[in-house]
Amino acid sequence: MFFRGAYVLVDYRVNHIVNNLVRTTVRSLIRMWADFRSEMGGGNVVSTDPASQLASILRNDLRRGEYHPRERLVESDLVARYGFPRATVRSALVLLAADGLIDRAPNRGASVRSLSIDEGIELAEVRRELEAICARDAAVRATPDERRRLSDALEAMRYAVSLQDVHTYRQSSIGFHESVIDLSRHEGARRQLAQIRLHNLQRHFPAAFEGDTFADSVEDHIAVGEAIISQDAEGAESAMRAHVDRIVRFLTEYRATVDSGVAQ
């Protein structure tokens, strides 16, 4: 009995160590791909103006779901979190308000803008077509080294799914989509998607995505990635359109549910 208990304890510790190592590997792959994106000109252009720098940081946090719709953005909290002076924070919030990302009201401060369900569906529909174009062009324009790195990104996503690591998977998913956009070298689509993707639809409508699963999502990403890696432009375009269309369907079905509830 003693030896059996000792074996179970050792087995648990080994599994714990291995899982931690895998998580570290996944996150390292994600960081490596982010560095590569910066080298090839992906992501936001870095500004030397402090207010623009902070606004860029906040945009990224909004895109990644760090804030939820209608959440108040208290200036003193932002000063403590990001380390910028209050005047810089205030100027950054003005820039975000001009982007339509936050609402500012006299004597009430700033809060994250909340989308209507119709706005969400429209954004998803436009995103679907633009990302399909990007996937098509990425299959043609990505270099051999870029295709190898995209393959590494897919492996990172597989690891995250195997560990049921929701946070890491979501971050790797965001990085995957951004990378496909970069690899397309389609500047018009990139500019439009940079604005559209600032609105995290899962944050705005969490109930709409309750039926979404790791398995379905990762299979979609693998289909897109493998088509790009094999330089199958038509297949990449079709796979990406089908993948993003799931978002459109989730939101459309959610709207029907809400309308039905209101009618009752």
* pLDDT surpasses 80 at 65: yes
| Average pLDDT estimate for 48-52 | 91
Nearest residue to 123 via CA among 33, 15, 195: 195
Other beta carbons within 10 Å of 80: 9
Say what the pLDDT of residue 125 is.
Answer: 98
Structure confidence at residue 77 as a pLDDT band (50, 70, 90): very high
Structure confidence at residue 82 as a pLDDT band (50, 70, 90): very high
Domains of the chain, CATH where assigned: 50-112 (1.10.10.10), 116-254 (1.20.120.530)
- DSSP-assigned beta bridge partners for residue 105: 109
pLDDT digits (tens, 9 = 90+) for 6-28: 444 444 454 544 455 445 555 55
Structure confidence at residue 262 as a pLDDT band (50, 70, 90): low
The pLDDT mean for the chain works out to 85
Q: What is each CA distance from 119 to 79, 199, 200, 221, in whole angstroms?
A: 31, 10, 12, 25
Nearest residue to 61 via CA among 193, 201, 178, 200: 200
Q: Report the chain's C-alpha Rg in angstroms.
A: 21
Residue written as tokens 């994600």?
30
CB burial of residue 102 (10 Å; 0-12, 13-18, 19+): buried
